């Protein structure tokens, strides 16, 4: 299902080799390119590409995108297993009283491995096998924290409304968590593990959950998705309810992290809450398709990073998943058996409004960035958003808004309802 991909993986590709544009395909591919960044790189002269990409990546005048050279074994794994591997440096200013706090963070995006008609146990094992070299590449690169995509251990079957897919759900300390705990121990790595959870102690209920695995393989805690979509084929509200874990920030050896799962990225208040609780990096493991959300994708995470003075790691799965039985989208169009194209495009956003390029729209990938967490406080000191936010106004407004008899503050033109 990745056969539309093009190979423009080199960051220093020959920009003179202009390709013949193709028309946009069903998966919304950009004239055959797998990201806007790579399209511009292939088609603009080097100085114009540098300037256009500087604008698109939110870099200031004279500021350049800084890449990291990874160890050969990581590059070899990417080449052998055909996943997109990119690595960048997001710097902070040097301080007088604090050393830099540089954390190497990784984001993994992947398609499923076997058809959804294969036995469930085979499907899950095949995903484990597919992920292994990508996680190994992260380990070989010295990555400190890694986050996988939403419900990575299964197809994103919630479009179907069929309850048999609940079989994939696991206890928070189940098979998938155990699989990743091994890597956490092996590489001294914190791993954010978004799964479909079965809550055994509460009557075997289902949740959309991220389990936080510490760098020694211990389970630090979990967070459950706060906001559940009811849009398009995203029939997740058929499967699980809004999370009951608040907005926890997990203090790990590498920094304070939080997880805003998928649809929660559309809610600025959800982003805000993780910020108020002290997050320095918020991951947004997602599964979302092109026609529905791609225009929003480059906007929401960057805005959250700016507004809350933290880093954001955005992850989206890739590929098109086809299910055995057809379903409809409630949009009057014919029934269909595929969810649409999950467009990948995982990337980092920084509190200074900059961001990295995105991973491929088609290929599995590992995005690595060195984040100097000092940048968070530097931006707080510079812009003062917390101190100028007037939270008491909004505490009062929301307290009034949630009451059934809320009256909006509206000032009507007194001439409005008089005749001329």
Q: Is 45 in the site for its own copies (CB under 8 A)?
A: yes
Compute the Cα dihedral for 179, 182, 187, 192 and give only its sign: positive
For its own copies, which residue of 121, 178, 205, 277 counts as binding (CB under 8 A)? 277
Nearer CB in complex with its own copies: 208/252: 252
Interface residue with its own copies among 352, 364, 370, 372 (CB under 8 A) is 352
Q: How far is the CB of 76 from its own copies (least distance, A)?
A: 31
User: Site residues for its own copies, window 206-225 (CB under 8 A)?
Assistant: 212, 214-216, 218, 220-221
Q: Which residues are catalytic?
A: 150, 225, 262
Q: Which is nearer to its own copies, 117 or 388 (CB)?
A: 388
- What part of residues 223-262 is at the interface with its own copies (CB under 8 A)? 226-231, 242, 246-253, 256
Q: What distances in angstroms separate CA 278 from CA 156, 220, 247, one per listed residue?
A: 31, 17, 10
Structure token digits, residue 301:
């995470």
User: Could you say whether residue 384 binds its own copies (CB under 8 A)?
Assistant: yes
CA distance 330 to 116: 23
Structure tokens at 373: 């967490």
Q: Are strands 318-327 and 336-343 parallel, antiparallel or unpaired?
A: antiparallel
**Two structure tokens written together for 11:** 């960051």
Tell me if 273 contacts its own copies by CB under 8 A. yes
Select the residue interacting with its own copies from 64, 76, 200, 399 (CB under 8 A): 399
The residues with which 103 forms a beta bridge, in sequence order, are 371
The yes or no reply on residue 76 touching its own copies (CB under 8 A) is no
Side-chain-side CA neighbours of 45 within 13 Å: the count stands at 2
Q: Is 276 in the site for its own copies (CB under 8 A)?
A: yes
User: Least separation, in Å, of the C-beta of 397 and its own copies?
Assistant: 6
- Closest alpha carbon to 181 in 143, 212, 148, 140: 212
Q: Using the minimum distance from each CB to its own copies, give the nearer residue, 88 or 250.
A: 250
Q: Which residue number, 118 or 231, has a Cβ lying nearer to its own copies?
A: 231
Q: CB within 8 A of 307, min separation 6: which ones? A: 268, 271, 272, 275, 385
- Tell which residue, 130, 272, 283, 305, has the closest CA to residue 193: 283
How many positions of this chain bind its own copies (CB under 8 A)? 98
Site for its own copies in 51-70 (CB under 8 A): 51-52, 55-56, 58-62
Q: How far is the CB of 72 from its own copies (least distance, A)?
A: 29
Asked if residue 319 lies in contact with residue 152, where contact means CB atoms within 8 angstroms, the answer is no
- Binding to its own copies (CB under 8 A) within 292-311 occurs at 294-296, 299-300, 302-303, 306-307
Which among 48-56, 100-108, 149-157, 195-203 is the span making contact with its own copies, rule CB under 8 A? 48-56
98 Cβ contact partners less than 8 Å away, ≥ 6 residues apart: 374
Write down the least CB distance from residue 352 to its own copies, Å.
7
């Amino acid at each position: 299902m990745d056969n539309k991909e093009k190979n423009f993986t080199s960051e220093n590709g020959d920009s003179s080799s202009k390709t013949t544009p193709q028309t946009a395909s069903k998966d919304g591919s950009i004239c055959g390119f797998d990201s806007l960044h790579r399209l511009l790189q292939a088609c603009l002269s080097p100085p114009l590409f540098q300037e256009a990409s500087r604008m698109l990546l939110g870099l200031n005048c004279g500021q350049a995108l800084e890449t990291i050279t990874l160890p050969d074994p990581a590059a070899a794994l990417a080449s052998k297993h055909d996943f997109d591997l990119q690595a960048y440096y997001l710097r902070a200013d040097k301080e007088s009283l604090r050393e830099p706090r540089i954390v190497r963070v990784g984001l993994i995006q992947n398609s499923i491995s076997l058809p959804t008609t294969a036995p469930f146990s085979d499907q899950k094992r095949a995903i484990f096998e597919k992920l292994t070299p990508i996680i190994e590449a992260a380990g070989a690169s010295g990555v400190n924290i890694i986050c996988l995509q939403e419900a990575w251990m299964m197809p994103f079957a919630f479009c179907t409304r069929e309850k048999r897919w609940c079989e994939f759900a696991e206890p928070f300390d189940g098979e998938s968590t155990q699989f990743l705990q091994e890597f956490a121990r092996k590489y001294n790595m914190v791993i954010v593990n978004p799964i479909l959870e079965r809550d055994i102690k509460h009557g075997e209920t289902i949740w959309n959950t991220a389990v936080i695995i510490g760098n020694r393989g211990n389970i630090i805690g979990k967070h459950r998705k706060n906001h559940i979509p009811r849009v398009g084929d995203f029939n997740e509200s058929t499967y699980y309810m809004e999370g009951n874990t608040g907005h926890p920030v997990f203090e790990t050896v590498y920094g304070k992290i939080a997880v805003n799962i998928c649809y929660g990225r559309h809610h600025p208040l959800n982003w805000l809450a993780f910020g108020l609780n002290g997050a320095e990096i918020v991951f947004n493991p997602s599964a979302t398709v092109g026609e529905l959300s791609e225009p929003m994708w480059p906007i929401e995470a960057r805005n959250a990073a700016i507004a809350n003075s933290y880093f954001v790691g955005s992850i989206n799965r890739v590929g098109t998943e086809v299910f055995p039985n057809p379903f409809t989208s409630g949009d009057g169009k014919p029934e269909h058996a595929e969810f649409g194209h999950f467009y990948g495009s995982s990337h980092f956003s920084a509190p200074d409004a900059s961001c990295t390029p995105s991973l491929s729209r088609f290929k599995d990938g590992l995005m690595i960035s060195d984040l100097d967490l000092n940048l968070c406080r530097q931006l707080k000191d510079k812009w003062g958003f917390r101190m100028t936010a007037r939270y008491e106004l909004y505490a009062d407004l929301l307290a009034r808004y949630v009451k059934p008899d809320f009256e909006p503050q509206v000032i009507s033109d007194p001439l409005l309802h008089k005749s001329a």
